[in-house]
Amino acid sequence: MTEMVYGTAPARVVDPILPKWWRTVDRWSLSCILILFGIGILLGLAASPPLASRNGFAPFHYVERQAIFGGMALLVMLVTSMMSPDLVRRLGVIGFLGAFIALMFLPVLGTDFGKGAVRWYSLGFASVQPSEFLKPGFVIVAAWLMGASQEINGPPGIKISLALALVIVGFLTMQPDFGQACLILFGWGVMYFVAGAPMILLVGMAGLVILGGMVAYGGSEHFARRIDGFLNPEVDPTTQLGYATNAIQQGGFFGVGVGEGEVKWSLPDAHTDFIIAVAAEEYGLVLVLAIIALYAAVVVRSFLRLMRERNPFIRLAGTGLAAMFGVQAMINMGVAVRLLPAKGMTLPFVSYGGSSLIAGGIAIGMLLAFTRTRPQGEIGDILRGRYR
């Protein structure tokens, strides 16, 4: 009787999640990430056995752990990439709050593992570095605030996000971790630029960063030592930079051969911060260029897809995540070839590390979720007034 009076409502057809995800996700970027992870396992097989031997573990102890953490990272990445942007934003804000609280308590509850910088929580069976998880969360919160500030009667999101970035930088410099602090400021600056920042203001901020570096050089022995080592025209062959530089030179174009490299026996961080030196020595410039091309492909494709995005939050958050991903890779490789001072930063999805792998999986999962194809007009159509 009800159907006779009101008529029947058409059933809503809902696409299954996996087929819809596969049609809309950036499969090229996804493939690049999987290849990078595979390269990381390959290089781990070469770089980690000497360290395992020195620490009394089985030869492939660190490779097995990298495979476990990497599997967790890939699972988190795939699940996150299937989420809607609204759900990513909600979970990103919650994750940021948790990571920020963990960062605040690091000076009291954290440990330095003998490296001189209190950056980790020791869990016994593993360690957690809060700053790795803080980065994607901060991008989400900052993009949310900046996007809200563009609305009529919106909050002063740019000022709030800048204040938040400066507070985070303050906690990071206390560790000290100047590399992650620079990444936070860089990510905020890129998002602010995309949001329409005046160029003069960005130049002024760059000047403040340089001034802050000068203050840090005078007040931090750790920072000054790394800058002095970078500026010294002669490289001490017994330092990490010396070993890495010699390995890259020995590798040449095609490398010395699989398993024939020597740098992994000398560098304590050959499987983490200087993994690119192992790649250059054993596989040569060919593999290094391939790795650079994979990172560049993810960043460029993400930017191209985000240029068509109409939603300010998605556009800003995706840009921040892609920029930080690419710059972290550039910093890691730049340190190995002495283009940048040593910063202790991993190569995303290639270096060994539980926190960096899982946090990287979260960040790339967010990026893939933001760059998925959605039915919408071109952003240029908005400027021409086609969508009202």
**Average pLDDT score over the chain:** 83
Asked if residue 11 has pLDDT above 60, the reply is: no
Which whole number is the average pLDDT over 238-248? Answer: 75
The CA distances from residue 3 to 7, 10, 12, 23, 300, in Å, are 5, 12, 17, 36, 53
Residue 224 structure tokens: 């000054």
Look at 379 and 18; give whichever has higher pLDDT: 18
Which whole number is the average pLDDT over 134-150? Answer: 93
pLDDT tens-digit map of 64-78: 999 999 999 999 999
pLDDT confidence of residue 386: 44
Which whole number is the average pLDDT over 262-272? Answer: 75
Return d(Cα 178, Cα 6) in angstroms, integer: 66
Greatest CA separation for the chain? 91
Which whole number is the average pLDDT over 194-200? Answer: 80
Taking 3-state DSSP, the helix, strand and coil percentages for the chain, each rounded to the nearest 5, stand at: 70, 0, 30
pLDDT tens-digit map of 86-136: 999 999 999 999 999 999 998 888 887 767 678 888 887 778 889 999 999
DSSP notation for 256-313: S-TT--SGGGT-TTTTTTTHHHHHHHHHHHHHHHHHHHHHHHHHHHHHHHHTT---HH
Q: Domain ranges for the chain, please list them.
A: 25-371
Asked if residue 311 has pLDDT above 70, the reply is: yes
Asked if residue 19 has pLDDT above 90, the reply is: no
pLDDT confidence of residue 16: 78
Who's near 240: CB < 8 A, 6+ residues apart? 267, 268, 269, 273, 274, 342
pLDDT confidence of residue 232: 64
Residue 320 structure tokens: 């921040």
Return d(Cα 134, Cα 136) in angstroms, integer: 6
Residue 73 structure tokens: 């990272």
Who's near 39: CB < 8 A, 6+ residues apart? 279, 287, 290, 291, 294, 350
Asked if residue 199 has pLDDT above 80, the reply is: no
pLDDT confidence of residue 32: 96
Return d(Cα 205, Cα 317) in angstroms, integer: 21
Band of the pLDDT at 223, cuts 50, 70, 90?
Answer: low
Least confident stretch, 202-206, 213-217, 319-323: 213-217
DSSP notation for 138-159: HHHHHHHHHHHHTSTT---HHH
Band of the pLDDT at 388, cuts 50, 70, 90?
Answer: very low
